[in-house]
Amino acid sequence: DQQVKQNSPSLSVQEGRISILNCDYTNSMFDYFLWYKKYPAEGPTFLISISSIKDKNEDGRFTVFLNKSAKHLSLHIVPSQPGDSAVYFCAASLGTASKLTFGTGTRLQVTL
Amino acid sequence: DTAVSQTPKYLVTQMGNDKSIKCEQNLGHDTMYWYKQDSKKFLKIMFSYNNKELIINETVPNRFSPKSPDKAHLNLHINSLELGDSAVYFCASSNRGWDLPYNEQFFGPGTRLTVL
């Protein structure tokens, strides 16, 4: 049973445009959500997070939006840059419990 | 100065063999994890240790045995390797502070295990 889903396996965006990556979850008990970025042959690196009590968190070019009623979150990257090309994983956490539940990832390709 | 390191980076072995993967973190974290990323790219938690104590043990065959000699190390030993064990194994660490709002985990580069 996959509790965190990323339904788009890949996304291609032109440099300078907005990239929108989506994530859906089924467990309403999740109270923290994180986005990780992964380059080939490297481990995932933390990008940005959001608490379930908020609906938006912004950090530079990256903004995460949370819609609790729809159990949906999205990551916006504006403007997209070629260095943003990577696989992006959405993850959910149950408070300070150690377990992170990951989605299957979306491969973002930013083209020139 | 790598924060979370794993050895080896690649491991190719025959079915039935026993192998170990080592993980070390120099971040001073108190919690370490093993994740498995299979061919479908699912990244799933296997084990978690806090201060050398096992706190998460997902449904993993008992051929997999984690060992934490100290807070900075978490090794994964796999007995009687099977074809289905082929995957990328990631080690991670974090501070499991009860006053922290979330659990940011720092990942190692991964170990690609291929069982022939």
Total beta-carbon pairs less than 8 A apart between chain A and chain B: 66
Q: How far is A102 from chain B (nearest CA, A)?
A: 6
Q: What is the average pLDDT score of chain A?
A: 93
Please give the average per-residue pLDDT across A86-92, as a whole number: 96
Please give the average per-residue pLDDT across A23-33, as a whole number: 93
Q: Choosing among A4, A98, A102, A104, which should be mutated to test the B contact, i.e. which has the most B CBs within 10 A?
A: A98
Q: What is the pLDDT of residue B100?
A: 60
Residue partners of B52: CB distance under 8 A and separation at least 6: B68, B69, B70, B71
Of the ranges A46-50, B14-18, B46-50, B112-116, which one carries the lowest mean pLDDT score? B46-50
Please give the average per-residue pLDDT across A68-91, as a whole number: 97
Of the ranges A26-35, A67-76, A78-87, B49-58, which one carries the lowest mean pLDDT score? B49-58
Give per-residue pLDDT as tens, B27-86: 998 889 999 998 878 899 999 888 888 888 887 899 999 999 998 999 999 999 999 999
Q: What is the pLDDT of residue A50?
A: 93
pLDDT tops 90 at residue A67 = yes
Q: Helix, strand, or coil here: B79?
A: coil
Residue partners of B6: CB distance under 8 A and separation at least 6: B21, B22, B23, B89, B90, B91, B108, B109, B110, B111
